[in-house]
Chains A and B, each alone.
Chain A
Amino acid sequence: EVQLVESGGGLVKPGGSLRLSCAASGFTFSNAWMSWVRQAPGKGLEWVGRIKSKTDGGTTDYAAPVKGRFTTSRDDSKNTLYLQMNSLKTEDTAVYYCTRSVGGTLEHWGQGTLVTVSS
């Protein structure tokens, strides 16, 4: 069974940093393309960023609102995905979901972790 478990969320002040983690199990993590999707309180879903598998180049892409501030990385030896978030803004407040993409579909989702950016 595929499991994705996010952690690391919390309260941070504007301008601060936070690192989210996503522990994966039930599939070959090293072969997977992984993404982060967020959902602001009471709002819709927004794709944040994606990292390919190392065999496919390990490259990353980001949505415009987070480009240059957020970085996603992976540790295949630990089956873990990371999202480093810097220069946080109040509008980054959201539940952040870790997802596994299969053939162009965001197929599996974690339960999410809440990030609150507030002074």
Chain B
Amino acid sequence: QSALTQPASVSGSPGQSITISCTGTSSDVGSYNLVSWYQQHPGKAPKLMIYEVNKRPSGVSNRFSGSKSGNTASLTISGLQAEDEADYYCCSYAGSSTNWVFGGGTKLTVL
């Protein structure tokens, strides 16, 4: 059982927008603005898409955006494209002993 809760799957058609939620607790998501999101294609390493709740690393499309309210963070992908089909994981820093906790992952299907 993962520390952060994500929906197992979401889907959308090309051009549409989808949002993936990530629910934690006041000890992780709610305490730190250190939520990140990773995209993982089959057989590949995770790729950082969003960090510190809503910042995009250089080279990541502005179709990806993040937000947080209380103990829940969200990743929104707008203008869905076929190459967005992948697994997405949220992650939160959770303090100096627990360090990092992950969500169970969400499989995004582009219909």
Chain A positions near chain B (C-beta within 8 angstroms)? 35, 37, 44-47, 50, 61, 63, 97, 103-112
Is B111 located at the chain interface by the 8 A CB criterion? Answer: no
With a cutoff of 8 Å between Cβ atoms, the chain A residues found around residue B91 in the complex are 45, 106
CA distance A47 to B97 in the complex (A): 12
Residue pair A61, B96 in contact (C-beta under 8 Å): yes
Does B64 count as interface, using CB distance less than 8 angstroms?
no
Interface residue from B32, B48, B97 paired with A104 (Cβ < 8 Å): B32
Q: How many A-B residue pairs have CB under 8 A?
A: 54
3 closest A-B pairs by beta carbon, nearest first, are A104-B34, A47-B100, A105-B51
Known: A105-B36, A107-B48, A109-B47. 16 other contacts (CB 8 A): A35-B100, A37-B100, A44-B2, A44-B104, A45-B91, A46-B102, A47-B100, A47-B101, A104-B34, A105-B48, A105-B93, A106-B91, A109-B45, A110-B45, A111-B45, A112-B45
Distance to closest chain B CB from A26 (angstroms): 14
Interface size class of B (residues with CB under 8 A): 20 to 34
Residues on the A chain within 8 Å of B99, using CB: 35, 47, 50, 61, 63
Contact status of A44 and B36, CB under 8 A, knowing A61-B97, A105-B51, A106-B91? no
List residues 43-57 of chain B with CB under 8 A from any CB of chain A: 45-48, 51-52, 57
State A6–B79 Cα separation when bound (angstroms). Answer: 35
Q: How far is the CA of A108 from the CA of B101 in the complex (A)?
A: 16
Contact in complex: B45, A97 (CB < 8 Å): yes
